[in-house]
Amino acid sequence: MTATRVAAIDCGTNSIRLLIADLDPATGEIADLDRRMIINRLGQGVDSTGRLHPDALERTFAACREYAEIIAAHGVGPERIRFVATSASRDAENAAEFTEGVRGILGVVPEVVSGDEEARLSFTGATKELTGGSLKPPYLVFDLGGGSTEFVLGGDEVQAARSVDIGCVRMTERHFGGAELPTEDQIARAKADILAALDTAAETVPLTEAATLVGLAGTVTTVAGIVLGLPEYDSAKIHHARLDVEQVRATATRLLHSTHAERTAIPVMHPGRADVIAAGALVLLEIMERTGAAEVVVSEHDILDGIAWSIAR
């Protein structure tokens, strides 16, 4: 079968990402032509105001204009573009303004997917290449985003999925505010909030029954880069790295007690992630402790790859 060229866009709370790839559904192979990310912080203030901030919308539209040029250069038509919008635009009162802006730039309507659909797309992207390998099912995949975290358990197919409102941006805004160094009391309140959300997730998704825990998205990959001591971000070395719980605990503790300047100076740190990475690392640690997993497998393939596969189908 001839490969299908697609353009997938994932617009989350903290970042907007583009993947242009050639996919072969017959072999399950995906060949990246362009994969990039822009920190747009669409979720700025959404947790407190319920609305998308004008500055956040303009940052997002600027990213869309840049992506439109790249998509056109690769010859991908609108029928092979899928734009998936997640937590921030799902929660906002003025989501229609976002939708119309994106349609005017890219010619496609952004799909504000449910948390369950978001989880299924993430699961497909993360596990498609694991089938038949050394990592055994069932897999518990979690996608730790800016506004929410999706949990999905499955093997050949999804068995259970749940989205809960814990993410690096939401936890930072809700509990740490503008504090550069969160206090122990702030950290304790954030931890209690995370644990309550994990209890909610466990009502739908068994969190302790997986053979393999797989972690997705920028917080997880950044923590992996820190644990590995990489001199710069290297997706090839981060993809399928295995982090044990003690490594994650040490890294989370370090980040929670580092200044913004110290976090920014970490070689693998994206500048747009430095102010929210501490809260994200705390969420990651609490997930590992709640599931009882000795290690987490880090995947660079996530919801963006799942969106791409959904187009090819």
Over residues 254-286, the pLDDT tens digits come to: 999 999 999 999 999 988 899 999 999 999 999
Share of residues in the chain with pLDDT > 70 (%): 98
Element (H, E) at 8: strand 4-11
Residue 83, judged by CB atoms within 10 A of its CB (0-12, 13-18, 19+), counts as buried
What DSSP string describes 295-308?
EEEEES--HHHHHH
pLDDT digits (tens, 9 = 90+) for 191-240: 999 999 999 999 999 999 999 999 998 999 999 999 999 999 999 999 99
Residue from 252, 240, 97 nearest 190 by CA: 252
pLDDT tens-digit readout, 40-76: 989 888 878 989 999 999 999 999 999 999 999 999 9
Instruction: Assign 88 a pLDDT band (cuts: 50, 70, 90).
Output: low
Distance of alpha carbon 282 from alpha carbon 187, whole angstroms: 9
Q: In what side-by-side order are the strands of the sheet with 212-216?
A: 158-164, 149-154, 139-144, 212-216, 295-299, 242-244
Q: List beta partners, residue 83.
A: 9
How confident is the model at residue 131, as a pLDDT?
66
Residue 142 · residue 207 · CB < 8 Å: no
